[in-house]
Amino acid sequence: MLSLHVDRDRWWAHLRSVVDAHPGVVPVVKGNGYGLGIGCLAEVSGQLGADLVAVGTYAEVPHVEKSFAGDILVLSPWRPSETRATYDARLVHTVGRLSDLQELTAGGDRGASERPRVVLELLTSMRRHGFTPQGLRAAARHLEGVAVEGFALHLPISHGSHLSEMARLLDDLVASGIGTRRVFVSHLTHDELGTLRASYADFDFRPRIGTSLWLGDRGALRVRATVLDDHEVRRGDVFGYRGRTAPRRGHIVVVSGGTAHGIGLEAPSGGATIRDRAARVARGSLDAAGFVRSPFTVAGKQRLFAEPPHMQVSMLFLPEGTPVPPVGTEVDVQVRFTVSTFDRLVFS
């Protein structure tokens, strides 16, 4: 079993601190739910007092509807190919093209209470989705059929300041003549948001936060893999799908966690430099024999894969002398949470 252990008190304290520091935060609960699962994050969002959560796609909406009572913002822009009903009292669409806006409102004479709720996205330096400034001004003439909830800006995760780009974008929003002053933003720092709130007091900034909310305190999260089996091998013994031979005495240890969980060949933090590697090759060590470093830690060291990870388990090679963790115990694994799936969540 590949388990994600959550230190509940520590994790919760972190979540609270982010929510307190970012009034109006819109928790983002998309994809694999940052490793914790969309349903779990939706439920926690409600417990944190959020009135709105953001999902990535329409396919994710059903995963949130039952575990969260508030409104649901879909970050991917609405497209005419979307089959879900355009009006839903809890659903907020993102629109970034004039033709989509026209299609969305083409349904005919709905009552005023049944106008689809939308946020209008403006293209940023990301150049992913959204209206150009001219496009937004054109859109301003086609808003009768929708209820505009705000604007959306998706900024890059840049190293420099976002403030000059934000000033330009906010000018464009004002110039569009569209009345709303609510702006959903991402990837602004706490200080940048503070500066913007001070300089644009008439705007209501709503930060969308995923990673730094759910995964902002990595120490609250620990991933552990169950040791499933252990086989002593001598030099030359054959093992694995590929009929490899053991380069020396040791143990083949089988642990939970394979490609289906998101375990890849490369250890995520990659610490080894080319120089380290050259030194190891010179010493004739195991990775010189073609073994690749795994993300599994045994006896304080990241161990080598005996062969590439299987679908649900991995085979590790432990050279003779390494303490072998008993079957049924757990070992630590380093993962990238946004690409990982766990067999269970353990809150303690």
Site residues for ligand PLP per CB under 6 A: 28, 30, 75, 154, 186, 208-212
Distance of closest approach, residue 331 Cβ to ligand PLP, in angstroms? 28
Q: How far is the CB of 230 from ligand PLP (least distance, A)?
A: 39
Nearer of residues 132 and 329 to ligand PLP, judged by Cβ: 132
Least distance to ligand PLP, CB of residue 192, Å: 14
Q: Residues 168, 133: contact at Cβ < 8 Å?
A: no
Indicate the residue among 187 and 224 with the shorter CB distance to ligand PLP: 187
Q: How far is the CB of 208 from ligand PLP (least distance, A)?
A: 4
| Smallest gap from residue 45 Cβ to ligand PLP (A) | 13
3-state secondary structure of 164: helix
The Cα–Cα gap between 59 and 72 comes to: 12
Of the pair 155, 345, the CB lying nearest ligand PLP is at 155
Minimal distance in Å, beta carbon 75 to ligand PLP? Answer: 4
Task: Please identify the residue of the shown chain whose CB is closest to the bound ligand PLP.
Answer: 210
| Identity at 101, one-letter amino acid code | L
The beta strands (E) that lie in the chain are given as 2-6, 26-27, 52-55, 71-77, 91-95, 117-122, 147-153, 182-186, 204-209, 221-233, 238-239, 244-245, 250-256, 292-298, 301-305, 313-319, 330-333, 344-347
Nearer to ligand PLP, 53 or 246 (CB): 53
Sheet holding 147-153, edge to edge: 26-27, 204-209, 182-186, 147-153, 117-122, 91-95, 71-77, 52-55
- 210: exposed, middle or buried (C-beta count within 10 Å: 0-12, 13-18, 19+)? buried
Q: Is the Cβ of residue 22 or residue 154 nearer to ligand PLP in the bound state?
A: 154
Residue with Cβ nearer ligand PLP (30 or 63) = 30
